[in-house]
Amino acid sequence: MSGMWAVLKRELKGYFTTPLAYVFLVIFLFFSGYLTSKEGFYEARQADLSRFFRNMPLLFVFMVPSTAMRLWAEERKVGTIELLLTLPLTIWQAVLGKFLAAWIFMTIALALTFPMVLTVAFLGDPDAGPIFTGYLGSWLMAGGFLAIGCFFSGITKSQVISFVLSVVACAILVFVGLPSTLNYLSTLLPAGLTRAIEGLSFQLHFESMQRGILRFSDVAYFVLLIAGWITACAVMLDERKAC
């Protein structure tokens, strides 16, 4: 475990040694606030964060892959991946260290949106349940997007290619659960297959959490999604190391 913590601290420190992390945080906070206000957050005069959480999937589709694209692609580009993989640590420790560092960074980004909570508390008496589950769902969804980005970052040394592939994969998992997409698919596919596709979508599991409903199936979906993509990344890197 010491190897994983060493990688985690190295990666997390690396985020804040360049201006890119601060630029990312500013952009994330700006668009999270802008998209919320654009949907009439202040005009509605409702003490809830439903409009804020509603935009998280779309915002994460672009913002999270930009964080994950450097995880392994940068190591390949500068040629340090060989050195990293020859250190006394396992592939799993390296993968988990990098992934958890990126997840902590996204946790910081989410935590910095606390003024939204203060705003709704000022406007009225908000229900704490949907706010808590909304943030929990956002945090889990960020982890899922990062796991996908970690995998695609591991298969290429180009950060641009990693970013594009991650955005496409994440967008598919978000938009496939939209009502318009499901209505279209229902005209082409059997009802059972359409429901199965809906079950694979981020949208379905996140929507219930942003409404304040915390179900085991929704949490399990994100946990299994993260575990699956992280495992795929570790297996792929291990195979390349053996070659």
Query: For residue range 68-97, what is the model confidence (pLDDT) as tens digits?
Result: 888 777 766 666 666 666 666 788 888 898
Please indicate whether residue 241 or residue 152 has the higher confidence score (pLDDT).
Answer: 152
Name the percent of the chain in helix, strand, coil, to the closest 5: 80, 0, 20
pLDDT the model gives residue 169: 92
Residue 92 in contact with residue 198, Cβ under 8 Å? no
Structure token pair of residue 70: 């450097």
Task: Kindly state the average pLDDT of the residues 10-30.
Answer: 86
**What is the tens place of the pLDDT at every residue in 35-66?**
887 766 666 666 678 888 888 988 999 889 98
The conformation of residue 18, written as its DSSP 8-state character, comes to S
Distance, CA of 101 to CA of 206 (rounded, Å)? 23
Convert 147-178 to b/e letters by CB count within 10 Å (16 or more is b).
Answer: bbbbbbbbbbbebeebbebbbebbbebbbbbe
Structure token pair of residue 61: 């589709």
Mean pLDDT rounded to a whole number for the chain: 84
pLDDT the model gives residue 80: 62
pLDDT the model gives residue 143: 95
pLDDT band at 1 (very low <50, low <70, confident <90, very high): low
Distance, CA of 19 to CA of 92 (rounded, Å)? 29
Distance, CA of 54 to CA of 31 (rounded, Å)? 13
**What is the tens place of the pLDDT at every residue in 173-222?**
888 877 788 888 888 888 788 888 878 888 888 888 888 888 898 999 99
- Longest CA–CA span in the chain (Å) reads 61
Task: Kindly state the average pLDDT of the residues 15-32.
Answer: 87
pLDDT over threshold 60, residue 243: no
For residue 75, give its domain range: 2-242
Q: Which residue has the tokens 């692609």?
A: 73
Instruction: Tell me which residue of 158, 177, 195, 15 sits closest to 98, measured CA to CA.
Output: 15
**What is the tens place of the pLDDT at every residue in 105-159?**
999 999 999 988 888 888 777 888 889 999 999 999 999 999 999 999 888 888 8
pLDDT the model gives residue 198: 79
Number of domains in the chain: 1
Residue 73 in contact with residue 156, Cβ under 8 Å? yes
Q: What's the length of the chain?
A: 243
DSSP 90-150: -HHHHHHHHHHHHHHHHHHHHHTTHHHHHHHHHHS---HHHHHHHHHHHHHHHHHHHHHHH
